[in-house]
């Protein structure tokens, strides 16, 4: 499920998708 979402984000190459990746990465870093 998660892999599918990540694959969709990478394949879409969207500005919104890239922003989502940045926010998601920031949340992952902040959680550690």
Q: What is the pLDDT of residue 16?
A: 67
Number of domains in the chain: 1
Q: What is the pLDDT of residue 13?
A: 66
**From the DSSP assignment, how many helices (H) and strands (E) are in the chain?**
2, 0
Q: Which residues contact 9 (CB under 8 A, 6 or more apart)?
A: 17, 20, 21
Q: What is the pLDDT of residue 10?
A: 73
Summarize pLDDT for 1-29 with one digit per residue, the tens: 688 887 777 776 666 667 888 888 889 88
Contact indicator for 32, 25 with CB cutoff of 8 Å: no
For residues 13 and 28, what is the distance between their CA atoms, to the nearest angstrom? 21
Contact indicator for 21, 9 with CB cutoff of 8 Å: yes
Its domain, for residue 22, covers 2-31
């Amino acid at each position: 499920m998660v892999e599918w979402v990540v694959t969709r984000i990478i394949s879409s190459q969207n500005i919104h998708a890239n922003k989502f990746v940045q926010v998601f990465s920031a949340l992952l870093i902040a959680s550690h």
